[in-house]
Amino acid sequence: MDLAEYTAKLRYTHLLAGIIHQEEEKIMQTWLKLIGSDKVPITGAPFYGNYKVEYVGFRKTRKPSIRLGDYLFLYAPGGTKRIFALAEAASDPQINAQYNPEEEGSCYWNVSVRYLINLPVNSGIHIDEIGTNQRNLLQSIQRQSHIKLSNEESELALHKLQSKVKEYKIVRH
């Protein structure tokens, strides 16, 4: 194992530990964040299923609860219903200077993100794969831009997404 692999493994170990213990330490939260919509899925133009934007947007004028250091599982609701990325909030919410209320999809708030995992949308995990007895995520996320995940949901999402990363790397080589 080279240094880069060791560093990546260590980062995931720390990430997993942080996600699992988020409730105990109250340091950060883990969220499921919608990217795109049923009307305008990110599998279409201009992203074609590869979302690499360095921020996530929030349309409502109310400031989102996501904070610097929180983790966001990015979810594509349009068609695929797949969780395809894990990102860390690299900033607190900032007002978007380019916000235009007349423009469809324009966001009032932006949060800068740093990707820890970012797969093509079609290589992600279906939202039903992280379902628990606590709630139906597909129903909970309807009409929301983001929801807080429980420890169990976060742990499932991380493990399943890591498995998809390994599968993706095997297929790509």
Q: What is the CATH number of the domain that holds 138?
A: 3.10.590.10
Give 170 or 108, the one with higher predicted confidence: 108
**What gap in Å lies between CA 150 and CA 168, rounded to an integer?**
26
Q: What percent of the chain has pLDDT over 70?
A: 82
| pTM value surpassing 0.75 | yes
pLDDT, tens digit (0-9, with 9 covering 90-100), for 45-71: 889 899 999 999 999 999 999 999 999
Q: What percent of the chain has pLDDT over 90?
A: 58
**Residue carrying structure tokens 């209320």:** 101
Q: Report residue 1 as tokens.
A: 């194992």
Residue 173: per-residue pLDDT: 42
Domain that holds residue 101: 3-172
**Domains held by the chain: number:** 1
pLDDT, tens digit (0-9, with 9 covering 90-100), for 12-49: 655 665 655 554 445 689 999 999 988 888 888 889 89
Is the CB of residue 96 less than 8 Å from the CB of residue 110?
Answer: yes
Is the CB of residue 54 less than 8 Å from the CB of residue 91?
Answer: no
**Which DSSP letter does residue 38 get?**
S
Give 162 or 170, the one with higher predicted confidence: 162
**What gap in Å lies between CA 105 and CA 15, rounded to an integer?**
31
| 82-89 and 125-126 strand pairing | antiparallel
Residue 146 pLDDT exceeds 70 = yes
